[in-house]
Amino acid sequence: MGGKIRHRFCPVCGHSLRRQMIKSSEPEQLVCSHCRFIYYLDPKVAVGTIGALDGKVVLLRRGIEPAYGLWVFPGGYVNQGETLVEAGIREAKEEVGLDVRVEKLLNVYSYSGQPVILVTYAVSIVGGELAPCDEAIDVGTFAREEIPWEALAFPSTRDALMDYAERYLED
């Protein structure tokens, strides 16, 4: 099933969970040995925002694991009851102090064996002050040729920045 978290007990009745094939077309699922509850390990949804100041893309150095000290655009998990756009706006403010307006869906990124689906938006920066805030140890703006390609946090960071640079940054 992958991932580091190992669920052992049913959240409904507390009995043990075991792996079981439910449908031949799907991977094994965790099933309660007592009440038959199926514990689906659904992916997490994250949102990212990529915007530019004076023609340079805004990035932050992560101050948390995973990928501590590596560069990424503002983003994070979507809270239950929050829209993707609301989450993107919140994350930009929390991480780099900027107020953003979502302009366009850039792309959706998912990778085999990885538990996170990343929805990324191209944004306009409409206010705030660029500064390292929650979960950031540094911030910077980078022209296309200055992006620290070898020090990016995740494959989705690289892929989204390549898509953004192709569409929005000048050579």
For the stretch 117-128, pLDDT in tens is 999 999 999 999
pLDDT, tens digit, 9 for 90 and up, residues 45-81: 999 999 999 999 999 999 999 999 999 999 999 999 9
Give the pLDDT score at 27: 87
Statement to judge: residues 30 and 56 lie in one domain: no
Question: What's the predicted TM-score (pTM) here?
Answer: 0.86
pLDDT value, residue 6: 79
pLDDT band at residue 1 using 50, 70 and 90 as cut-offs: very low
Q: Are residues 65 and 92 in contact, defined by beta-carbon separation less than 8 angstroms?
A: no
**Domain co-membership, 16 together with 56:** no
Range of the domain at 26: 1-41
Assess whether 62 and 100 both reside in one domain.
yes
Across 26-41, average pLDDT: 93
Token match 């850039």: residue?
A: 106
Say if residue 16 is in the same domain as residue 71. no
Distance (Å) of CA 8 to CA 4, 30, 76, 140, 161: 13, 9, 27, 43, 38
Query: What is the average pLDDT value for the chain, to the nearest integer?
Result: 94
pLDDT on residue 5: 53
Same-domain status, 96 and 137 = yes
Same domain, 20 and 64: no
Structure tokens at 64: 């948390």
